[in-house]
Structure 1
Amino acid sequence: MQPWQAVIDVQEAQSVGIDAFALNVASTDTWSTNAIQYLFDAAAQYNNFKLFFSFDMIHFTHPSQFLGLIEQWHNHKSYYSHNGHPFVSTFYGARLSFGESSPSNGWQKHYREPLQAKGIWTYFVPAFSDAMGSPTGFTYAFPVIDGVMNWDGAWPYESDGQVDVSSASDQAYLTDTHTYSKTFMMAISPVQFKHMDHNQNWYRRGELNYATRIRQVLSLAPDFLEIVTWNDAGESHYFGKIWPDSIAGTNIQTYTDGYDHSGWQKLLPPFIKAYKAGIKDVSSLIPSDGKAVSGVFWYRPLLKSASCINDFMGKPRGWMNAEDNFNLVVLADSRASEYTINIYSGYDMLAWYRPVQGLNSWSIPGLRIGSQSIEIVDINGRVIASGKGTMTVIGDMSHGVCNYNYQVVGF
């Protein structure tokens, strides 16, 4: 990462209503600490934008490896605090005990106590969704935490089949943490597709996952909300820019080049506003840019029937859960009944709809080979919004990558 890239990331995230970045830290090498420095410098230019650390416990083996970063940055004006305590999270770590009798005791002795000895009392909300057992009873088993994030709840598991994501685990965590006067952080994400090697080749359903999670978040009203993610290109759930130097030396570029996801940002301002206000009714989600309608559609340019025999990794695990659908979310104002949405796939009309005020979502089967587009007209037949994908849908691949990433088009 370069300093100017950090500035753009902070600026763009704040412009759509995001309050803070969770910095997923997996290394203390110079490239990582430089990026941290650049991001804090950038955040300092935007008074209300904050940062906090989320330590990747797939890579770290002991808290002693990263405590120095907390000591260094927790007092920075851009470090996010909750009730006066620096906020800290993790990616996993619920099964690590660091030589103690339990994971909670391990985190207490090797994370909490060394920091407290230096007068640092963090607000600890780890993503311990790798814990054994159900969410019920989780908080009792982990008295070391102040809250928990349900990272894996953002998508269906591969083994769940061709189903929409459930919020049952989120509800269980929410109830369990609140029983002990602690907090819950929910995750929202559009998809998870990784295609890096034989061991990292999977697909966790996208389809209408994003819109489904919007409704679930507003219904459950969690204490915190984490959007997964701003820039994780490797798992294809990025909302922001992908900087080439951040994925150098990997094959991530082969399945992200030309796959701009910024269109997903279209839904964030009204959604975040409703979430912060405690509004549950999705009819309040109208365009934030003054337009009559706005939204986003997404589709996979490669049909799932493709054999992918020329990709040495083959199809991703979970590929059978994908659907060849045209996925669409439209935000409409109070005149919604006057508008008609026309969806075109392969140069033919695939479907048409009349929206209602607020959030509308459809996952339309029958995606066809060729171009993909949308046109919204008013009662007089005037086009008031439109969008067209930059990639056509193909039925198979003669070479290249078995790519289950999404083409995303905002309008």
Structure 2
Amino acid sequence: MTPDEAVKDVNDAKAVGFDAFALNTHDITSSWALNALQYLFDAADQNGFKLFISFDMSWRTITPSQIPSFLLNYISRPSYYKISGRPFVSTYDGGFIANSDWVSGFQQPLISQGINPYFVPSFGDWSGWPNNFFSSYPSADGVFSWESAWPDPGTTISNVSDVVDQNLAQQARAAQKVFMMPLSSFQFKYLGPGQDWYRIGEVNLPQRFEQILALKPDLVELITWNDAGEGHYVGNFFAEQIAGSPIGDYANGFDHTGWQQLVTPFIKAYKSGTATSGSQILPPGSAPVGSLWYRTLLKSASCSSTIQNYQQGQDTVNYAVLLPSNGYTIRVYSNNQLIGSFAGSAGLNYGAVPGLRVGGGQYIQVVNSAGSVVASATGTKQVAAQSSNSVCNWNYEVVGLS
């Protein structure tokens, strides 16, 4: 990362409606990681944005006792995110470490210096997860349910569930603590045996919008802004970020910023505190906004079986459209053939429409009551029956309405 890229990330995310970046890291010593943190904190300080550190404990390269001295480099920055004056800290995993070790290694050394961290971890790797969480981890100020952002891995098609989220939200409220809920589009990785997988993305994003508004968590974390390796980025990723890896083979040229048309109104609806359903996620003006997305390789491609959970994928053209009122029709096309037509209603409309076909002509149209096309989104990439190279690319082509 460069200083200019950090400024762009901060300003772009702020324009979408985000309040902060969760800086997820497994490396607290290498110069590339420390430089990136420096650039991001400088950019956030200068542009009225917030940041907090989320430690990726799954790598097992960080121990709780290493965290205090590292955090002291950042928590005094104006941009460090705080709740009630306390610096916010999160994790991915870390449930293999006992509560007592988190207290003695992480919290007490900071408290002894007058700093009381606000700790909201995701301990999905804890053997008792998610039940009785605060009984086993009373030191936590809240809990984050990272892995519930997608359906469980498996061989059958299933929608994303909020059962774990509901469980943890109830526990947090009973303990007078906070619950942070994850939001994500999908997950795709193709980095070699054991590192090739797919987590459902057909209409996962709008389904999570609805679940979040219904459950009203205290905080929401979108996964992610820039993780090209796992495919769920909605913002920028830069060349040096993926240099020396095969990530570019499936991420380069696949722009996901079209999803931002949906994310911005969702953030506004969530922050209102009154929205409880998708019908209350409205476009920012009088025109429809939304996105089209589809995979550019059919599920029947011979290479698909190399991807874990490939059975959950569907050959669909997917859309989500926010309408200002009733009276619109949403038409979905594949290979220039109409495969679905749906009456729209005010707020969030979405669907995964079967019938994705080989070739070009993947697009959606929003038609008003007079029969005029008032918005459309057309894919720039053709769909293939088989991969033309060694990469079985299940990344999404994402296009916003215009």
TM-score range, shorter chain: over 0.9
| Distance in 2 of aligned mates of 1:253 and 1:398 | 16
Q: Out of 220, 224, 249, which is 2:244 matched to?
A: 249
Deviation at 1:380?
2.7
> Judging changes above 3 Å, is the alpha-carbon distance between structure 1 residues 291 and 251 closer, same or farther for their aligned structure 2 residues?
farther
Paired letter, 1:34: N
Query: Aligned AA for 1:138?
Result: F
Alpha-carbon distance in structure 1 between the residues aligned to 2:215 and 2:14: 24
Q: Amino acid of the residue matched to residue 105 of structure 1?
A: S
The range that moved more, 299-308 or 389-398, is 389-398
What are the residue-to-residue correspondences of 1:285-300 with 2, within 5 Å? 285-288=281-284, 290-300=285-295
1:280 corresponding residue in structure 2: 276
How big is the shift at 1:160? 6.8
8 Å CA contact 1:189–1:237 kept in 2: the answer is yes
Distance 2:178 2:281 in 1: 26
Partner of 1:319: 310
Find the aligned partners of 1:226 and 1:191 in 2 and give their Cα distance.
Answer: 14
Identity %: 45
TM-score scaled by structure 1?
A: 0.94
TM-superposed CA distance for 1:200, in Å, is 1.1
Q: Distance in 2 between the 1:138 and 1:341 partners? A: 44
SS class of match (2:168): helix
CA-to-aligned-CA distance 1:220-258 (integer Å, 9 cap, x gap): 000110000000111100010110101111110001011
* Alpha-carbon distance in structure 1 between the residues aligned to 2:70 and 2:129: 32
Runs of 4+ aligned residues of structure 1 deviating over 3 Å after TM superposition are: none
Q: Paired residues, what number?
A: 397
- The separation in 2 between residues aligned to 1:247 and 1:58, in whole angstroms, is 20
Match of 1:386 in 2: 376
Could you say which residue in structure 1 is the equivalent of 2:146?
A: 151
Q: What residue identity is the alignment partner of 2:76? A: N
Q: 1:139 maps to what in 2?
A: 134
SS in 2 for 1:76: coil
Look up the equivalent residue of 1:394 and give its one-letter code. A
SS at match of 1:188: strand
Secondary structure of the 2:303 match is coil
Post-superposition offset of 1:31 = 0.5
Deviation of 1:134 after TM superposition, in Å, equals 3.9
Structure 2: distance between partners of 1:108 and 1:281 = 39
In the alignment, the residues of structure 2 paired with residue 399 and residue 159 of structure 1 have an alpha-carbon distance, to the nearest angstrom, of: 26
Partner of 1:369: 358
Mark the CA change 1:160 to 1:308 in structure 2 (over 3 Å): closer, same or farther. Answer: closer
Q: How many angstroms does 1:127 deviate by?
A: 1.2
1:406 aligned to 2:396?
yes
Matched, 1:346 2:342: no
- Alpha-carbon distance between aligned partners in 1 of 2:63 and 2:355, rounded to the nearest angstrom: 50
- Unpaired runs of at least 5, structure 2: none
The answer to whether structure 1 residue 264 and structure 2 residue 264 are counterparts is no
Q: Aligned AA for 2:93?
A: Y
3-state SS of 1:41 partner = helix
Q: C-alpha displacement at 1:354, in angstroms?
A: 1.6
State the Cα distance separating 1:285 from its structure 2 match: 1.4
CA distance in 1, matches of 2:314, 2:308: 14
Please state whether the residue corresponding to 2:306 is helix, strand or coil: coil
TM-score for both structures, normalised by structure 2: 0.96
Give the superposition deviation at 1:202: 1.0
Instruction: Answer yes or no: is the 8 Å Cα contact 2:189–2:198 preserved in 1.
Output: yes
Equivalent residue of 2:72, what SS?
Answer: helix
